[in-house]
Structure formats: structure tokens, C-alpha cells
Amino acid sequence: MRKEEAVNLTGEKGRTRFDVIVVGGGVGGWVAAVASARNQAETLLIERYGFLGGTATAGLVGPWMRFTSPQEQLTTGIFEEFRQRLDRVGGIKGTTFDFEKYKRVALEMVLESGVKLLLHTYFVDCRTEDNVIREISVVNKGGLQRLQSEIYIDASGDGDLAASAGVPFTVGREKDGLTQAMTLMFTVGGVDFDRVDAYFKDNPDDYIHWEEDVDYKESGVLCRAGFFKAVEEAKKKGKLDQEIPYLFFISVPTDRIVVFNTTHIHRLNPLDPWELTEAEIRLRRQVWQIMDVLKELPGFEGSYLLQTATQVGVRESRHFCGEYVFTGDDVRQARRFDDVIARGNYGIDIHSPELSEGTRVEEQPAEMSYDIPYRSLVPVKVDNLLLAGRCISADHQGESAMRIQPICMAIGQAAGTAAALCVREKCLPRHIQVALLQKTLIEQGANLGKQT
């Protein structure tokens, strides 16, 4: 870890105009801000919480899903730099990471890049004229404020800025507008990893066998989705919600701690504040139900609830109309695009909006990688806006694959770089020279599967 510099934000007080404003300091947003600032744009990053990382930290969501193929590492660039820095402070084990160290390293990278950071600040509205965003309104302890920039990046996950600027969108899946199930993540301490591992070795029919299963003894990472019998019994006795399919947990780098990705709520809209509140209430109840069931399971006898996520995890919400809509078919066909700005090989992964439909995971052969085209970051109708993270233009199935964190981070790097180039070249995102963007990304470490 480099020496941390003194913090002095006084000079920023009262300033309202920047080259680039990034809304949302989550997985895609903080990377977008770093990329923009490193490419010489005066960049402001606003975030509603008091820390960075979004779903990765506030949501307690990890590990990183696939970012390599048998031939090469697909996601490199700022993601890889971050991964190595996190490693140096003991923040990763395999593909799992420590949530607090994530916050620390992301914050240092943002500050080192020269990004102006405004925390505890919520985007609420914007004013557009002739298809151009003229200013945005944010609310924070200082009240309601207006901020301006040349280019805006929406990395809010739900696409709050793009929606308010008038970019056309749909919500959820095409046939009925329902979104993927939501999950409140939580960490549990006091877990006896050896005992849990021994139980599953003795009961191989009590968990799901995935292609990418890792052996705990070899990797030190404990990951299982199962305890089917215990879950069914608890449901019969009325001790567990019907919506919980099985118990799914993975260890974090700290010994004896696992994170659970197992609560589930269906048919609620994450964009409706009342339904989001209902989701929080019902999922927080599920957490305590699960804790009661856990006490009786091998390896969890001495376990305790360590922390629930700051907010429920939202897998899907708005799908915007962009210059290109990335689709499930692009994933299955491992489609390549001339305007590639990120790559992935994670398959379609849908936690169905309907309880009866379960979870649908289509294993994508690891050697079949697809491209994310730059056009999916460029919304129609609004000229000075870029999309980053899960809110790029994608359909229900396409988003279910590209939403994973490594891809969102690569998209963030591309959006931030594109925004800075637009400022420098005095052009709009839809008119950018894609070859220049790709050359810059490659020079700055991105793997686009080609030289330029």
C-alpha cells in the first residue's frame, strides 16, 4: 500500500462545474471516475453512501465471477491493478475479497487519481435542453444543489440519471416487466470450515455440484449451495420462508467467516420505494430465520450473525435503449464487435422473478468469450451521457450475464476513458473515434482481444 496522502477538500467547496460527473461510486462508477481523471478530465464522483464499492461493499456481494478463460485473462486494466493492490493488503483469497479492504483500496485509488469525491450525496433530478443534460440536482447535508459538467456518466445501477434525462427504458424481463429476485446478503462468523467441509464430503447429494467447484482443502475457499434436507424440513415446520431455495454461502478471506447469498424475494419492484421497503423488511426477517436453522447444522453450531448488507441487493431494474442493445443471444453466440470495449465469458444467470421458476444458469463454455460493444454504453436521445455498470443497454438475458462485477468494472473503465476523450476532443459520446478509445484502453491495460 502506498503512503496515504493528507486529505484537504476545502478547495472544492462551492465548486459546481466539472468536465465529467459520475453518478454512483459503486462497482462500475468508481472505476469510471478513476479512468476519467487519469485521462485528464476534471472529474466529480457523487455517491449516496459514505464509502465506495456499491453492491460489492454496501451489498456485501462477492466473489468476483469469471474473468479469465483457459487462454487468457479477459478482464485486466484497472480491475487487475485493483486486484493486485487488494492482494498486497491481504484483501483477497482466490476470487473472494474482504469488504472493508475493498473500501480502503478503492478510496485510495480514487483519491490518487485526482477525482473530486462527494459522498453522502444523492442524485435526484436533472435539467435537459435540446437533448443535452444542462445540470443535475443532488441533495445532501448542504440541501439541494445544482452541478454541471460537459459529460455525465450514469453508474447508479438503476440508471436514475438516464431515466430522469428521458432515455427510453423498459423494466425487467420483456414478457411481463418482472425483475430478477432480490437478495439481502449477510456475513456469519464462528463457522468451523473443516466440519462444514467434512459434512459435504460425507453428503455429496446435499449440495449443488458446479463446473467451477473449488476444493476447500486445496484453495482455502469454502463454497457450498445446499443443505436441501434441512431447508425442506424447516420449511415444512414453518420456520423458513418458502422463497429460500437452499443455503448458499462462500467464505471471505478472513478465517471462520462466510457470506450468505441465500435470501430471496420475488415479484417486488426495486424502483418502487414502498416495494423496496417491503423487500428489506421481509429479507431481514429471512436472515434471522436462517440464523435459527444454521445453529443446528454441522459446522455452524457456534456461528453468529456478523453483519447484514447496508441495502438489499438488486440484480436487475431498468434496461435502457442504447445505440446497441446487448442480448442473451450475443452471450450464447460469443459475439464479437468491432467497437469492443470489454469482454466476458460468464453465462446467462437469472434468479427468476417467479418463485416457481427457480434459478436459471446457462453454463457458458469458458473458452467462448463475448465482447461488450461501446454502443451499449451510449444511450439514444440524450447526447452528453454515458452508461456504466449493469445499467448499460442490454436485454433481460444479456444483462443477467454482463452484470457481474469484473465486466461492470471493465465497462466503467471504458465509460470514464470515453468521457475524458470526449472532453479533450470536444465531441459527443456517439461521435467518438472508437479506434482512439480502444487504443487508449489498450495502452492503459485493457484486454480487448486485439491490438487496436
Q: Name the burial class of residue 262, with classes exposed (0-12), middle (13-18) and buried (19+) by CB atoms within 10 angstroms of its CB.
A: buried
Least distance between ligand FAD and beta carbon 392 (Å): 9
Using the rule CB under 6 A, is 379 a contact of ligand FAD?
no
Strand partners of residue 28: none
Q: Which of residues 186-225 bind ligand FAD (CB under 6 A)?
A: none
Q: How far is the CB of 261 from ligand FAD (least distance, A)?
A: 5
Taking CB under 6 A as the rule, does residue 103 contact ligand FAD? no
Q: Is residue 402 within the footprint of ligand FAD (CB under 6 A)?
A: no
Of positions 64, 99, 186, 207, contacts ligand FAD by CB under 6 A? 64
CA-only gyration radius of the chain, Å: 21
Q: How far apart are CA 190 and CA 31, in angstroms?
A: 34
Closer CB to ligand FAD, residue 123 or residue 200?
123
Provide the CB-side half-sphere exposure for 35 (13 A, CA). 36
C-alpha cell belonging to residue 192: 468451523
Residues in a beta bridge with 128: 133
Q: With binding defined as CB under 6 A, does residue 156 bind ligand FAD?
A: yes
Whole-number Å distance between alpha carbons of 20 and 18:
6
Please, what is the minimum distance in Å from the beta carbon of residue 189 to ligand FAD? Answer: 20
Q: In this structure, which amino acid lies at residue 113?
A: S
Residue nearest to ligand FAD (CB): 26
* Residue 29 binding ligand FAD, by CB under 6 A: yes
| Selected binder of ligand FAD within 160, 330, 339, 371 (CB under 6 A) | 160
Nearer to ligand FAD, 58 or 196 (CB): 58
**159 binding ligand FAD? (CB under 6 A):** no
Considering only the stretches 11-19, 149-157, 216-224, 269-277, report the one whose residues sit in contact with ligand FAD under the rule CB under 6 A. 149-157
Q: Give CA–CA dist 225/252, Å, rounded.
A: 15
122 binds ligand FAD (CB under 6 A): yes
Of 102, 118, 112, 101, nearest to 49 (Cα)? 118
**Binding range to ligand FAD, per CB under 6 A, among 142-150, 162-170, 212-220, 386-394:** 386-394
- Round to whole Å and give the CA distance between 164 and 318: 12
Binding span for ligand FAD by CB under 6 A among 23-31, 71-79, 112-120, 288-296: 23-31
261 binds ligand FAD (CB under 6 A): yes
Nearer to ligand FAD, 183 or 397 (CB): 183
Binding status of residue 315 toward ligand FAD by CB under 6 A: yes
Where helices occur in 51-170 by DSSP H, the ranges are 77-88, 99-113, 160-165
Q: Which residues of 370-406 are buried (b: 16+ CB within 10 A; e: fewer)?
A: bbbbbbbbbbeebbbbbbbbbbbbbbbbbbbbbbbbb
Does position 55 interact with ligand FAD (CB under 6 A)? The reply is yes
Q: For ligand FAD, which residue of 133, 408, 421, 432 counts as binding (CB under 6 A)?
A: 408
Which residue among 19, 21, 25, 279 contacts ligand FAD (CB under 6 A)?
25
Residue 135 to residue 118: CA distance in whole angstroms = 16
Q: Where are the beta strands (DSSP E) in 32-95?
A: 43-46, 92-93
- Cα 159 to Cα 340: distance, rounded to the nearest angstrom: 22
Cβ-based burial of 45 (10 A; exposed 0-12, middle 13-18, buried ≥19): buried
In this chain, which of 41, 54, 186, 384 binds ligand FAD, going by CB under 6 A?
A: 54
Residue 313 is a binding residue for ligand FAD (CB under 6 A)? yes
Q: Residue 87 in 3-state DSSP?
A: helix
405 binds ligand FAD (CB under 6 A): yes
Binding test (CB under 6 A) with ligand FAD, winner from 22, 34, 39, 48: 48
Nearer to ligand FAD, 54 or 416 (CB): 54
C-alpha pair distances (Å), 21 with each of 289, 322, 341: 42, 20, 21
How far apart are CB 65 and ligand FAD at their closest, in Å? 4
In the window 172-191, what residues touch ligand FAD (CB under 6 A)?
A: 183, 185
Could you list the residues that contact ligand FAD (CB under 6 A)?
23-29, 46-49, 54-56, 58-59, 61-65, 122-123, 155-157, 160, 183, 185, 261, 313-315, 389-391, 403-405, 408
